[in-house]
Structure 1
Amino acid sequence: MNQALSTSTDVRAQQRAAFIARHWHAEATLQALPADASARRYFRLDGAALLLMDSPPEQEPLRPYLQVAELLRDLGLSAPRVPAADEAAGLALIEDFGQATYTRLLAAGHAEAPLYELAVDCLAALHSAPAERGAVLPAYDDTRLADEFALFIDWYAPLLLGAAPSSALRAAYMALFDGLCDEVAGRREAVVLRDFHVDNLMLLDGRAGVAACGLLDFQDALHGAFAYDLMSLLEDARRDVPAPLQERLLQRYLAQRPDLDQETFLADYAVLAAQRHAKVLGIFVRLARRDGKLGYLNHLPRVLRLFRDALERPALHPLRDFLDCHLKGWRDDLPVAVLDGLRGRSL
C-alpha cells in the first residue's frame, strides 16, 4: 500500500470511529463484512443489532439509499431502519437484519420454493402501490437503459473481436437495441429495485407476510416497468432457477395482478431480460478487468446462456441475427486463453 492510500485509509477509519462515538459509543467493535461490487463497505457493531454503512459520498451518495428505504418502509416492506446518518460524510447506522440471506439459506439446504414465493409476493405488494409513488425516483428511461446495454459492446464484445468495436458496429448495435427498448423505456409503473435477487433478500424472523422478506441494496432504484425485478429474480446471474419453478413463480405473480395487461408485461419481460443480461456480461468483465474482482468471471457462462435464451424470443431475433452476423462466436463461452488473460489482467 502506497503512502497516499495508507493515509486515506487511516483518515476514513478515523471518520468512522468519530461517527460511531457520536451515535453509539467510542468502544464499539466493528467487524468488516465481505465487500461487493460497489464502493460501499459494511461493518457489524457487536451487540448492537446495527451495521455501519460506509458509502463514500463522491462515489455512492447516501441520499438515494435513505430515500428508497423510507419509501419501502412506508409501503409496508422491510428495508432497514436508519437510526443515524451523516450524508456529507457518507456514513450511516442501519438496522442489522442478521445473516439469513437467501443465498446462505439456499446453500444450507433451505427449501427454495417458499423463499422465492415470499419474494414474488413482496414484488406483487410493491407493484400494487400507486404508480406515482415511484415518481420521486429517476426514470428508467432510454438513456439509462442504453448506458447499461452498451456495457456488452464496450466490455464483452472486445474479448471476441480482439479490439474495441468500430464506431459503425457500435452505433448499429446501440440503435438496434434502443429500438427494441423503445416501448419499455416509457414505462412509469412502479419502483424498480434493479438488483432483486437472492444475494439481496433476507428471511426475517418475527415478521408476518411480505414484511418477512428483508430488502437490501436498493439505493439504485428507479421508476420503470413492472417486469424488471421479477425477471431479475427468476433469471438470476448468480444462481440457476429451475425452469418449472420459474414458470410457477411467474404465474403466482400474475395471479396477484389480475388487472395487469399480461401481453404487455411478458413483452417487457423479454426485452428487459436481454437488456439486463447484456449489461451484466459487460459489468462482470469490467469488474474483472478493471477492478481485479475475478470471482465474477465464474458467472459468465450462466449469464451468456441467459442472454442466448433471451434472444430466442421472437421479438429479440433482430438482435440475435445482428450478433450472429457481426460478432462471430458470441454464442460460445469465452475461450480459456481469453479467461486466462482476464485473470492476469493482461488483455
Structure 2
Amino acid sequence: MNRYKSLQQFLNPHFKEDEYQLAAITGDASFRRYFRINTAEQSFIVMDSDPDKLDNTPYIELNKVFSKHGFKLPKILQADEKQGFFLLSDLGNTHLADLLGDEDRTLHYKHLIKLSAQWAQTPPAQYMKVFDDDFLQFELSIFSEWLVDAFIDCSLSDEQTQMWQDACQLLVNNALAQPIVTVHRDFHSRNIMRTGQQWAIIDYQDAVQGPVCYDLVSLLRDCYFQLPEHELDYLLHFAYDEFTKQQLIHGITFEVFKRWFDLTGIQRHLKAAGIFCRLKLRDGKSGYLNNVLPTLQYISNVSKDYPELSALSEWIEHTIIVQTKKRLDKEIK
C-alpha cells in the first residue's frame, strides 16, 4: 500500500490537471508490477520495479541499446530510479499469444524468426552477461533444487545423481558448442507484441551473450503453446536457411542445427519447469503450475530421440512426471 501511494505521487506531477485512471495489468513472473494509465486522450504503462528486489539498471541501459539498433521497445518516458517507478509508452494489448489461432500464424513465426536473427546480431553491450558453463549449470540447478528437491521431495540414488550430472554436462557442452550471439532469453509469445504493423519486444532486461538456438527455442518450443510437429519442422528448416543467410551459422548441416535446437530446448525447459515450481513455493504464484507437466513431457519426448539422454527421458517420464502429478493433485484439492 505504501508503494502504491508512492506510485501515485510519482504520477501526479506528470499528469497535473489531467484526470487519469490506474488499472492493474496481470503481472509477469518477476517481482515487477504493471499498471495501465488511461487519460481522456491517451494511455500509458507504469512499471513498479522495487530496487530493493531488482536491479533496474539493465532495463534502462539495454532499452537504449536495442532501441538504437532499430527494435521496437517500450519507451521510457519518465523514471524515478531511486524508487523504481517507470512511465512507459503503451504498446497495446495484442501479444503473439493472442494471434496463435490466426490463419497467418506461420507467417507471423517466419517474420519473428527473421527478427530474432536480427536481434542476435546486436553487438555485445554492458549488462549482457555471458552464458558460460557456470551460468548454464546454475540454470539447470533450478530444476533440481525447486522441482526435484522442494516440490516433489524426490531423493536421487547414486546412479540417478550420476545420470543427472552427465546429462547436465552434455546440455552445457551443446550450448557452448554453438556460435555466441545476443540472446533475449525469453523470446516467447507473451513477450512479443503486435503494435500497429510492427512487432515489439518486451521483458528484454535479461539479455545475454549465449547460444544461437536459444531464442529460437523460446519462440518455437514455447512453454505456453505447442506447435504441431509438421509446422515446427517447416519453421525449423526456415530458421536454418534464415540463420545461414544472415551468417549466424556457417558450414553446419541441418542435422547438427536440429541437435543444437533440441538439446537447447531440453536445457531451457528443465530451467523453466524449476522456475514454475519456484514461483509457487517462493513467490506464492500458482498460475504457472499448469505449465509444469507439458514442459516435463516435452523434455521426456525430445530426450528419447538421443540415446545419450535416454536415461534422463526414462527418469523424467517414470519418476518426475508421476510424482509431479501427485503433488499437483494435492495442490488442486
TM-score range, shorter chain: 0.7 to 0.9
- Aligned partner of 1:153 in structure 2 is 144
- Aligned partner of 1:272 in structure 2 is 264
From 267, 274, 291, the equivalent of 1:282 is 274
- Aligned partner of 1:243 in structure 2 is 229
In the TM superposition, residue 328 of structure 1 has moved relative to its aligned partner by 7.5
Residues 249/19 of structure 1: CA separation in 2 closer, same or farther (3 Å cut) = same
In the TM superposition, residue 77 of structure 1 has moved relative to its aligned partner by 1.3
Instruction: Name the CA distance, whole Å, in 2 between partners of 1:272 and 1:255.
Output: 19
Matches within 5 A, 1:181-196: 181-182=172-173, 184-185=175-176, 189-196=180-187
In the TM superposition, residue 298 of structure 1 has moved relative to its aligned partner by 1.5
Q: Does the 8 A contact of 1:45 with 1:51 survive in 2?
A: yes
- Aligned partner of 1:82 in structure 2 is 76
The answer to whether the aligner puts 1:49 opposite 2:43 as a matched pair is yes
- Aligned partner of 2:56 in structure 1 is 62
- Aligned partner of 1:329 in structure 2 is 318
Q: Which has the higher strand share?
A: 2
- Aligned partner of 2:171 in structure 1 is 180
Deviations 1:53-109 (A, max 9, x none): 1111122222111222222212211111111122221111111100011122336x5
Secondary structure at 1:80 match in 2? coil
In the TM superposition, residue 188 of structure 1 has moved relative to its aligned partner by 6.4
In structure 2, list runs of 5 or more residues that go unmatched. Answer: none
- Aligned partner of 1:4 in structure 2 is none
Residues 183/54 of structure 1: CA separation in 2 closer, same or farther (3 Å cut) = same
Deviations 1:302-329 (A, max 9, x none): 2122111231242xx43431564x6782
The answer to whether the aligner puts 1:116 opposite 2:109 as a matched pair is yes
Instruction: Name the CA distance, whole Å, in 2 between partners of 1:332 and 1:168.
Output: 19
Identity of aligned residues (%): 26
In the TM superposition, residue 183 of structure 1 has moved relative to its aligned partner by 5.0
Residues 336/312 of structure 1: CA separation in 2 closer, same or farther (3 Å cut) = closer
Instruction: Name the CA distance, whole Å, in 2 between partners of 1:290 and 1:153.
Output: 15
Instruction: Name the CA distance, whole Å, in 2 between partners of 1:327 and 1:181.
Output: 19
- Aligned partner of 1:216 in structure 2 is 202
Moved more, 60-69 or 218-227: 60-69
Instruction: Name the CA distance, whole Å, in 1 between partners of 2:188 and 2:330.
Output: 30
In the TM superposition, residue 150 of structure 1 has moved relative to its aligned partner by 1.2
- Aligned partner of 1:339 in structure 2 is 328
Residues 313/327 of structure 1: CA separation in 2 closer, same or farther (3 Å cut) = closer
Paired positions, count:
324
| TM-score of the two chains, using structure 2 as the length reference | 0.86
In the TM superposition, residue 300 of structure 1 has moved relative to its aligned partner by 2.1
- Aligned partner of 2:87 in structure 1 is 93
Instruction: Name the CA distance, whole Å, in 1 between partners of 2:291 and 2:261.
Output: 21
Instruction: Name the CA distance, whole Å, in 1 between partners of 2:36 and 2:152.
Output: 45
Q: Does the 8 A contact of 2:171 with 2:264 survive in 1?
A: no
Residues 297/219 of structure 1: CA separation in 2 closer, same or farther (3 Å cut) = same
In structure 1, list runs of 5 or more residues that go unmatched. Answer: 1-9
In the TM superposition, residue 288 of structure 1 has moved relative to its aligned partner by 2.5
Q: Does the 8 A contact of 1:274 with 1:311 survive in 2?
A: yes
Matches within 5 A, 1:301-340: 301-314=293-306, 317-322=307-312, 324=314, 329-330=318-319, 332-334=321-323, 336-340=325-329
Q: Does the 8 A contact of 1:152 with 1:279 survive in 2?
A: yes
Residues 144/335 of structure 1: CA separation in 2 closer, same or farther (3 Å cut) = closer
Instruction: Name the CA distance, whole Å, in 1 between partners of 2:153 and 2:267.
Output: 23
- Aligned partner of 2:118 in structure 1 is 125
The answer to whether the aligner puts 1:201 opposite 2:192 as a matched pair is yes
From 142, 150, 153, the equivalent of 2:133 is 142
Q: RMSD of the alignment, in Å? A: 2.8
Q: Does the 8 A contact of 1:289 with 1:342 survive in 2?
A: no
In the TM superposition, residue 291 of structure 1 has moved relative to its aligned partner by 3.0
In the TM superposition, residue 275 of structure 1 has moved relative to its aligned partner by 0.6
Residues 337/71 of structure 1: CA separation in 2 closer, same or farther (3 Å cut) = same
Q: Does the 8 A contact of 2:62 with 2:127 survive in 1?
A: no
Instruction: Name the CA distance, whole Å, in 1 between partners of 2:316 and 2:301.
Output: 17
Residues 171/46 of structure 1: CA separation in 2 closer, same or farther (3 Å cut) = farther
| TM-score of the two chains, using structure 1 as the length reference | 0.83
